[in-house]
Amino acid sequence: MAPATTNLPVPAAPKDREPAKARPAGNFSADRDSLALTAYPSMIDRAVHATLARATAGLSPMAMAEAYFNWWAHIAFSPGKQMQLAQKANRKLARFQNYVSRYLREGESAEPCIEPLPQDRRFRDEAWQAPPFNFIQQAFLLQQQWWHNAFTGISGVTRQHEKMLTFAARQMLDVMAPSNGLLTNPVVLDKTVRDGGMNLLRGWQNWLEDWERQTGGHKPVGVENYVVGRDVAVTPGKVVFRNDLIELIQYSPATDAVKAEPILIVPAWIMKYYILDLSPRNSLVRFLVERGHTVFMISWKNPDESDRDLGMDDYRRRGIGAALDTIGEIVPKRRIHAVGYCLGGTMLAITAAVMARDGDRRLASLSLLAAQVDFTEAGELTLFINDSQVAFLEDMMWAQGFLDGRQMAGAFQILRSNDLTWSKLVHDYLMGERVPLTDLMAWNSDATRMPYRMHSEYLRKLFLDDDLAEGRYVADGRPVALADLRLPMFVVGTEQDHVAPWRSVYKIHLYAQGDITFLLASGGHNAGIVSEPGHPGRSYRVGAHNDNHYVDPDTWLATATTKPGSWWLEWAEWLDRQASGARANAPKEAGSAKCRPLGDAPGTYVLVE
Q: What is the pLDDT of residue 60?
A: 81
Nearest-angstrom CA–CA distance, 592 and 595: 5
Residue at 197 is within a domain: no
Over residues 211-225, the mean pLDDT reads 87
Nearest-angstrom CA–CA distance, 395 and 311: 17
Over residues 443-451, the mean pLDDT reads 90
Residue 103 · residue 131 · CB < 8 Å: yes
Over residues 176-184, the mean pLDDT reads 93
Whether 165 has a pLDDT exceeding 70, the answer reads yes
> 3-class DSSP state for residue 504?
helix
Handedness of CA 115, 121, 123, 124 (dihedral sign): positive
Model confidence at 37, pLDDT cuts 50, 70, 90, reads low
Q: For the chain, how many residues are written? A: 609
Q: What is the pLDDT of residue 458?
A: 92
Q: What is the pLDDT of residues 539-596, one digit of tens each?
A: 999 987 666 688 999 999 999 999 999 999 999 999 999 988 788 889 989 999 899 9
Over residues 121-132, the mean pLDDT reads 93
Q: What is the pLDDT of residues 242-266, one digit of tens each?
A: 999 999 999 999 999 999 999 999 9
Alpha-carbon dihedral angle through residues 135, 141, 145, 150, given to the nearest 10 degrees: 80
Whether 8 has a pLDDT exceeding 60, the answer reads no
Query: Could you tell me if 132 and 243 lie in one domain?
Result: no
Over residues 1-25, the mean pLDDT reads 38
Residue at 519 is within a domain: yes
Query: Could you tell me if 265 and 174 lie in one domain?
Result: no
Strands 336-341 and 363-369: parallel
Whether 32 has a pLDDT exceeding 70, the answer reads no
Nearest-angstrom CA–CA distance, 330 and 592: 5
Query: Could you tell me if 134 and 278 lie in one domain?
Result: no
Alpha-carbon distances, residue 397 vs 26, 58, 131, 404, 465 (angstroms):
16, 10, 51, 8, 20
Whether 19 has a pLDDT exceeding 50, the answer reads no
Over residues 154-180, the mean pLDDT reads 89
Query: Could you tell me if 134 and 269 lie in one domain?
Result: no
Catalytic residue among 342, 363, 403, 454: 342
523: left (phi over 0), alpha (psi -120 to 50) or beta: left
Which of 106-115, 333-342, 452-461, 538-547 has the weakest average pLDDT?
538-547
Of 526, 604, 531, nearest in space to 571 by CA: 531
Query: Could you tell me if 374 and 502 lie in one domain?
Result: yes
Q: What is the pLDDT of residue 328?
A: 96
Nearest-angstrom CA–CA distance, 84 and 81: 5
Q: Which helix (H) or strand (E) holds 559?
A: helix 553-559
Residue at 5 is within a domain: no
**Contacts of 533 by beta carbon, 8 Å cutoff, 6+ apart:** 287, 565, 566, 568, 569
Whether 29 has a pLDDT exceeding 60, the answer reads no
Residue at 127 is within a domain: yes
**Contacts of 188 by beta carbon, 8 Å cutoff, 6+ apart:** 182, 199, 426, 430, 431
Residue at 218 is within a domain: no
Locate all alpha helices (DSSP H) within 358-438, ordered by sequence. Answer: 387-400, 405-415, 417, 423-424
> pLDDT exceeding 70 applies to what percent of the chain?
90
Alpha-carbon dihedral angle through residues 2, 313, 407, 62, given to the nearest 10 degrees: 170
Nearest-angstrom CA–CA distance, 588 and 258: 12
Whether 17 has a pLDDT exceeding 50, the answer reads no
Over residues 273-284, the mean pLDDT reads 97
Q: What is the pLDDT of residue 47?
A: 78
Query: Could you tell me if 130 and 259 lie in one domain?
Result: no
Q: Is residue 342 annotated as part of the catalytic site, yes or no? A: yes
**Contacts of 402 by beta carbon, 8 Å cutoff, 6+ apart:** 303, 304, 305, 307, 308, 449, 450, 451, 452, 455
Handedness of CA 519, 522, 523, 526 (dihedral sign): negative
Query: Could you tell me if 270 and 169 lie in one domain?
Result: no
Residue at 280 is within a domain: yes
Query: Could you tell me if 175 and 316 lie in one domain?
Result: no
Q: What is the pLDDT of residue 432?
A: 94
Query: Could you tell me if 494 and 362 lie in one domain?
Result: yes
Whether 3 has a pLDDT exceeding 60, the answer reads no
Model confidence at 467, pLDDT cuts 50, 70, 90, reads very high
Q: What is the pLDDT of residues 296-330, one digit of tens each?
A: 999 999 999 999 999 999 999 999 999 999 999 99
Which of 143-157, 180-194, 377-391, 588-602 has the weakest average pLDDT?
377-391
Over residues 279-297, the mean pLDDT reads 97
Query: Could you tell me if 123 and 260 lie in one domain?
Result: no
Of 251, 170, 224, nearest in space to 422 by CA: 170
Over residues 496-513, the mean pLDDT reads 94
Model confidence at 138, pLDDT cuts 50, 70, 90, reads very high
Q: Average per-residue pLDDT in the chain?
A: 88
Over residues 336-344, the mean pLDDT reads 97
Whether 126 has a pLDDT exceeding 60, the answer reads yes
Query: When comparing pLDDT for 392 and 475, which is higher?
Result: 475
List the domain range (segments joined by +) for residue 88.
65-182
Query: Could you tell me if 165 and 278 lie in one domain?
Result: no
Q: What is the pLDDT of residue 407?
A: 62
Q: Identify the top-confidence range among 88-92, 215-219, 421-425, 589-593.
A: 88-92
Q: What is the pLDDT of residues 405-442, one digit of tens each?
A: 666 665 655 655 555 578 888 999 999 999 889 999 99
Whether 23 has a pLDDT exceeding 50, the answer reads no
Residue at 49 is within a domain: no
Half-sphere exposure of 326 (CA within 13 A, CB side): 33
Q: Which helix (H) or strand (E) holds 539?
A: strand 539-544
Whether 88 has a pLDDT exceeding 50, the answer reads yes
Residue at 123 is within a domain: yes
Whether 176 has a pLDDT exceeding 80, the answer reads yes
Whether 21 has a pLDDT exceeding 60, the answer reads no
We report the CATH number of the domain holding residue 460 as 3.40.50.1820
Q: What is the pLDDT of residue 378?
A: 85
Q: How many domains does the chain have?
A: 2
Query: Could you tell me if 176 and 243 lie in one domain?
Result: no
